[in-house]
Structure 1
């Protein structure tokens, strides 16, 4: 428990996703399914069931990013704590904070840790992990349930040196233009003594990448199709979920994994809440996610465009994954 901190029994949780959440989904579905090439934003994969499925994916043998990133944190978290002197850790896409606890341990051991601010689209992980962390470290936990593309304003002002973390492959889910815009917004959350820690999946053998998104157990396939279940439930739609195939491949031109759902037959989907009928041809594809892979040059260019500079890129021995420690330029 942090020195001088009274034990906290539970996290405070602010729920930003109120009555407008279905509206946001409706807007995204209307825009995405009436476009010439159909697509849906990946944030809608992460309802409560989707978050549990993704937690399973993170433990699969083919899915190297989570265990590799965790190992980097185990080996280098003390260095990160010393460099940043952070009293506050803000984490976007926190989930159950499984990897983050290594970093929390290091900040706690350094005696600087005072507050943890987990931010996620799903409430149960925030509640469960937040309560555990508040009790374990005796610190304030201010959880935010929301969409970090529009709710970053709910993050409280920094009470000291801030470490803002976005781990895993979350940043890579954004296309390049949106990614740079988002990084500029993150830079705006940092004072002169603030730091940004980003998980970045690195460019590597395409076979390794494609295995990670096509696991033998089919969990990623279930996770991908879950977005159709979300639309069915929330917008009174009738997607035949089991008649879509999971597709994931490495796009060598853009250096990203492209994740799609492919219809197995001709059909028409009705979306009652939108009074919309959407035809699908057999083998027509719906994109649900991209996952960009980074070189150091790409990363530095994105950061520079956002007014940030790369201080250190911490990688594993095989250069599979990296943690980029950045600060305002």
Structure 2
């Protein structure tokens, strides 16, 4: 299955098409999945260590605190699938708690990230089979066939990545994941609605690492697609939109400027933005309602004391009956 990792050319074509469509539409917007080239992943790892960015350390603490309960729900000889895998650090917390895990399938769009994860996990777990899958979570995908000699199949979708989907997209993803897991449960990390000032600090850090992460999308377009963006000519702008319960992240043009991409010319007015990311926040009840729409049965929920973040165990109807 690592042959799927050789899809680098297809992913580049997808990036080019997405950038062209983003620049043509009004208002301009692009999916955040294109942030994560090698430099983007490095910057995101730095974001995860920032004082202002509570999400990663809070979710990691919850996983460590409740790993035993999660492992008991999954059971022995399990097949573990991580959607939007990125760094395997959180998956390793679960793998360490499992009894004889048989298979780990990281699913991600980043070719570089999947290759690095496979090397790291094969060193750390010599008896574990690792089968990376390069796939877009917004499109249909197929997982390896189940083995009758293994235990159940369970999914992880951590990092509040589900917040990058609109509620409709999140519902569609949960339905796709449920079908792919074929009866297995799903553990989802969900950022909770909270004080907007806390959210503002998380996405506007004092060191401006998030700003560099946002602008790196333009750096990537220059390097991979031959564009001529001036990244310094765009401001990072992130704010909380309470009506939608989401953080919006934008790149705002600091002046009137013209950029070229794939032989085409695009003009930005002074103050015009490229909308690069949404990060939806949920209440526990709101996320449960979303899961029930696709036939998933909410189980245990683990939250930190400040109720900043949550982990949700979602069983499939037949499993929960």
Tell me, yes or no, if structure 1 residue 269 matches structure 2 residue 256. Answer: no
Tell me, yes or no, if structure 1 residue 198 matches structure 2 residue 180. Answer: no
* Structure 1 contact 16–151 (Cα < 8 Å) conserved: no
Matches within 5 A, 1:290-309: 290-309=278-297
For structure 2, the residue ranges without an aligned partner over 5 or more in a row are none
* Structure 1 contact 92–119 (Cα < 8 Å) conserved: yes
What is residue 97 of structure 1 aligned with on the other side?
Answer: 88
What is residue 214 of structure 1 aligned with on the other side?
Answer: 204
Deviation at 1:101, TM superposition (A): 1.1
What is residue 74 of structure 2 aligned with on the other side?
Answer: 84
- Higher helix residue share: 2
Deviation at 1:232, TM superposition (A): 1.7
Deviation at 1:310, TM superposition (A): 0.8
Out of 127, 139, 142, the position equivalent to 1:150 is 139
Helix, strand or coil at the partner of 1:20: helix
Out of 217, 231, 246, the position equivalent to 2:236 is 246
* Structure 1 contact 119–144 (Cα < 8 Å) conserved: yes
Out of 126, 131, 139, the position equivalent to 2:128 is 139
Deviation sequence 1:239-286 (CA, Å, 0-9, x none): 111111111111000000000011100011111x2x321111111111
Matches within 5 A, 1:307-318: 307-318=295-306
Deviation at 1:151, TM superposition (A): 5.7
CA RMSD of aligned residues (A): 1.6
Out of 237, 244, 258, the position equivalent to 2:248 is 258
Deviation at 1:152, TM superposition (A): 2.2
Out of 165, 180, 183, the position equivalent to 2:171 is 180
Deviation at 1:123, TM superposition (A): 2.8
Residues 136 and 296 of structure 1: is their aligned pair in 2 closer, same or farther, counting only changes over 3 Å? Answer: same
* Structure 2 contact 140–176 (Cα < 8 Å) conserved: no
Q: Which runs of 4+ in 1 moved over 3 A?
A: 11-14
Helix, strand or coil at the partner of 2:4: strand
What is residue 222 of structure 2 aligned with on the other side?
Answer: 232
* Structure 1 contact 261–288 (Cα < 8 Å) conserved: yes
The 1-side partners of 2:62 and 2:202 are apart by 19
* Structure 1 contact 237–269 (Cα < 8 Å) conserved: yes
* Structure 2 contact 227–260 (Cα < 8 Å) conserved: yes
* Structure 1 contact 165–198 (Cα < 8 Å) conserved: yes
Count how many residue pairs are aligned between Structure 1 and Structure 2.
312
Matches within 5 A, 1:8-27: 14-15=4-5, 17-27=7-17
Deviation sequence 1:72-116 (CA, Å, 0-9, x none): 001001000001215111111212211221111101xxx241111
